[in-house]
Chains A and B, each alone.
Chain A
């Protein structure tokens, strides 16, 4: 864990959560740890950001939640992608590609 985790760009958190849920259903801590893993510690999602995002996305209908047992038999709330969520992931990915391409071009140009 880096001592100064990078600030998340606005809108990137949704993309990261949706993306990590493509691996299967997961509880909050799992999502947080997965994001930390796949970004190699660049992004650390604190519960204070994670839970509000999860609840908002649930209300949007992109993910659905259910209570289940965790890997060590503890009750935990799990999240999974919905059909709308997959579509949203596509949209977000395309958007991200566009932005990152544009920014890369801009940086190369200068």
Chain B
């Protein structure tokens, strides 16, 4: 094969194409002339001779095109020209191209953004390596069906799990510990976390600066070290890198700072991490453990080996646990089952449900955007049927036409997908700037690549498939009908029209489902935003007071402390009320598994929470008195056995009876040492409930005078009208004046605490779901509007004919609107049916609204109907106003 010749031809065809073309044209022309001359010599007249020659040739352009197909490098040229032509086509119909690209971009971009946010923010909100394989080891009491009997273990138990199991790559033990940080003469309590020396490798997060904790730090005689969290490093050391190597005094021991973890690493929400040897000797008693800040119990988190199921892992641990019963008999129930649960399932309660909903939402969104593009392409191509027929008449082979359409679709798809990727990237980059979205603690909002690929593939394939639709519909059709026929006629008489009608119905149905879901989500969001917890959360500062060890152990000493402190606090500027308590609203406090009420025998356990408070508690929180009276200063001062209960307690334990004057005993108190046993409290008043943000209903709650016992920690609630941050400093001073050895723990407003601990997750979820719903809603409406308006516009010609034949504007409007109503109505019915069948799965994500919320179920169809009809009406009205002659020529 003379390669040289080939290359020469290739280059010539590519770069001297004009000369090559002219040559070809001349040749075919001269051939025609030669044939004509030949025919004339055979005795034909000139006209007849030319005609016969043309017949034999069979079309100048077709012959030329066939020659072109044979040329070397022909495909390069034709692809280039196809691309050029495709671009010209897209530019020629800017409305169509822009709408299609936007539809693609929105679909890809938003589905990816939403999935990424959810995946990283709700489903896997950790920075740890192999988060999917992280497993929490738990014990289920099978006899009493208590699912989470225990999730913390003695260190030797965790060590046994780690050493004897075959299904785990590694297991780590960690636990929280109070660390008292002594600096500049004051003591501050920090949240510490003791970790086994394998922890750093286990979590797989590299320190930001310095080094992590290693085996050498846990060996006997190793110098004590501390690893800081980013947040603590920032607040205490202002990101000063020179703290590395310096020492800090924690629990009276000097520890060298070896490193700082990155911002995202927030294991146990700790400020400081300290190492713990696997071989550590356990404290002799719980009291000793508390005293020495040396935890008895640890969480056990493992990394299951690849391709090992959690069932297998649980069975593996079960064997080891059975052996451990001999050592720790008291810590195992009689019949138990070890569990191995995914870490995110433990943290994200309804993980699977949310994941399922998320995937469904994203697929729905993608389907809607894809069907937008599909309908657009179908409509666009049926408008081009005449052009395609023309090109085919001018010598374009079927393959050539398919390739042309293919190139056009690829160009369109590429543009849309690129725009979509860009949107996804920019969108995620800007998520953190959106006000109201508080990305939960450790989460990292990175792009979810598999979903992006899925979205791009789906959108691209849709574009390709429907871009090639004329191949099945128009190209194979008889040329003559296409050329003779109205050409542009979008009424439902063709197969393309039927497919399009089906798409409209399907799209309306999908949009309907999404709209109902969106409506419910947005209604939930509004309900959450207006949530009334039953108390005023603003301006309420909450601090825990930490007493030095072995001091303030008695009732009297605690009482003396607060009797001195509270008047000082209430005299601080801006303070309107203040109180002492054990627990903290919404975060729980002491609980009694059962109560005894004389005259009210019961079989089941009557569980109630209770708190020991001072008289200012009710006004500080803003609880309302419903019956009887509140605790009075004399009740508190005299430590009288009186109690104020909430209305749920009354409803649960007393029904319609009047509780005032009844005696109640909190059975748990009998088990607490140094607390009056067999203590009955007289109910003197009923107050309003605290409404829990969680879905569960309010729980029974009782309030007794704090002066009756010394048990439990003590918190201070201060309501202020001034800036709570300023108040915190004053409080610290006041407390130091009473006793400089007490420590104040992180003053925080109740609102901030609620935001961080309670609201954040549901709020984040709802915001994301609502945004998803809102975007879907927008996409659905825009898509429907675009498709309807375009397909009616295509009927302008037909409508013109009708007008010319004497139809009234009213008839035309009725015709178009009727057709639109039929399609939209069909879609709405289908969508409503689907919504009714599927809406139940949403129930657990909803808040404050029923799944069959009438507003969502009425407004969604109304919005769709209005959009659909408006989209029919506008072009139809325009069509009726156009001069029929223009309409007839209109294309």
Bound pair (A, B): yes
Residues of A within 8 A of B (CB): 27-29, 46-49, 51-53, 55-56, 58-61, 67, 70, 72, 74-77, 84
3 tightest A-B CB contacts, nearest first:
A61-B5, A52-B70, A59-B9
State the majority secondary structure of interface residues on A. helix
Contact of A61 among B2, B56, B71 (CB under 8 A): B2
List of A residues within 8 angstroms of B30 by Cβ: 27, 70, 74-77
Contact of A51 among B2, B9, B28, B33 (CB under 8 A): B28
Q: Kindly list 18 other residue pairs between chains A and B, CB separation below 8 angstroms, not including A47-B28, A51-B63, A70-B30.
A: A47-B56, A48-B66, A49-B66, A51-B24, A51-B28, A52-B66, A55-B24, A56-B71, A59-B6, A60-B5, A60-B6, A74-B30, A74-B33, A74-B37, A76-B30, A77-B23, A77-B26, A84-B2
Q: B34–A59 contact, CB under 8 A? A: no
Contact of B67 among A52, A60, A61 (CB under 8 A): A52
List of B residues within 8 angstroms of A84 by Cβ: 2
Q: Does B688 contact A (CB under 8 A)?
A: no
Q: B26–A51 contact, CB under 8 A? A: no
Q: Does B35 contact A (CB under 8 A)?
A: yes
Chain A residue nearest in CB terms to B35: A29
* Residue of A49, A52, A60 contacting most chain B CB atoms (<10 Å): A52
Task: Give the Cβ gap from A53 to chain B, nearest Cβ, in Å.
Answer: 7
List of A residues within 8 angstroms of B9 by Cβ: 58-59
Q: A51–B66 contact, CB under 8 A? A: yes
| CA–CA, A58 and B5, complex, Å | 9
Q: A72–B37 contact, CB under 8 A? A: yes
Contacts A47-B63, A52-B67 given; indicate if A59 touches B5 (C-beta within 8 A).
yes
Q: A59–B67 contact, CB under 8 A? A: no
Task: Give the Cβ gap from A91 to chain B, nearest Cβ, in Å.
Answer: 12
Q: What are 17 sample pairs from A and B whose C-beta atoms fall under 8 A apart?
A: A48-B62, A51-B63, A51-B66, A52-B69, A55-B67, A58-B9, A59-B5, A59-B6, A59-B71, A60-B1, A60-B6, A61-B2, A61-B5, A74-B34, A75-B30, A77-B27, A84-B2
Task: Give the Cβ gap from A10 to chain B, nearest Cβ, in Å.
Answer: 15
Contact of B34 among A29, A46, A56 (CB under 8 A): A29
Q: Does B72 contact A (CB under 8 A)?
A: yes
| CA–CA, A61 and B3, complex, Å | 10
Residues of B within 8 A of A (CB): 1-2, 5-6, 9, 23-24, 26-28, 30-31, 33-35, 37-38, 56-58, 62-63, 66-67, 69-72
Task: Give the Cβ gap from A78 to chain B, nearest Cβ, in Å.
Answer: 10
List of A residues within 8 angstroms of B38 by Cβ: 29
Contacts A29-B31, A75-B30 given; indicate if A46 touches B56 (C-beta within 8 A).
yes
| CA–CA, A57 and B6, complex, Å | 11
List of A residues within 8 angstroms of B56 by Cβ: 46-47
Chain B residue nearest in CB terms to A44: B56
Q: A48–B63 contact, CB under 8 A? A: yes
Chain B residue nearest in CB terms to A29: B34
Task: Give the Cβ gap from B75 to chain A, nearest Cβ, in Å.
Answer: 14
| CA–CA, A51 and B60, complex, Å | 11
Q: B27–A56 contact, CB under 8 A? A: no
* Residue of A48, A55, A74, A84 contacting most chain B CB atoms (<10 Å): A55
List of B residues within 8 angstroms of A72 by Cβ: 37
Q: A51–B27 contact, CB under 8 A? A: yes
Task: Give the Cβ gap from B14 to chain A, nearest Cβ, in Å.
Answer: 13
Task: Give the Cβ gap from A61 to chain B, nearest Cβ, in Å.
Answer: 4
Contacts A46-B56, A47-B58 given; indicate if A76 touches B34 (C-beta within 8 A).
yes
Task: Give the Cβ gap from A2 to chain B, nearest Cβ, in Å.
Answer: 15
Task: Give the Cβ gap from A41 to chain B, nearest Cβ, in Å.
Answer: 15
Q: A59–B72 contact, CB under 8 A? A: yes
Contact of A53 among B5, B26, B33, B70 (CB under 8 A): B70
Task: Give the Cβ gap from A76 to chain B, nearest Cβ, in Å.
Answer: 5
List of B residues within 8 angstroms of A46 by Cβ: 56, 58
Q: B71–A60 contact, CB under 8 A? A: no
Task: Give the Cβ gap from B241 to chain A, nearest Cβ, in Å.
Answer: 71
| CA–CA, A56 and B57, complex, Å | 19
List of B residues within 8 angstroms of A77 by Cβ: 23, 26-27, 30
Task: Give the Cβ gap from B646 to chain A, nearest Cβ, in Å.
Answer: 94
Chain B residue nearest in CB terms to A57: B70
| CA–CA, A70 and B23, complex, Å | 17
Chain B residue nearest in CB terms to A53: B70
Task: Give the Cβ gap from A17 to chain B, nearest Cβ, in Å.
Answer: 13
Contact of A28 among B2, B27, B62 (CB under 8 A): B27
List of A residues within 8 angstroms of B69 by Cβ: 52
Chain B residue nearest in CB terms to A76: B30
List of A residues within 8 angstroms of B66 by Cβ: 48-49, 51-52
| CA–CA, A60 and B4, complex, Å | 10
List of B residues within 8 angstroms of A47 by Cβ: 28, 31, 56-58, 63
List of A residues within 8 angstroms of B28 by Cβ: 47, 51
List of A residues within 8 angstroms of B58 by Cβ: 46-48
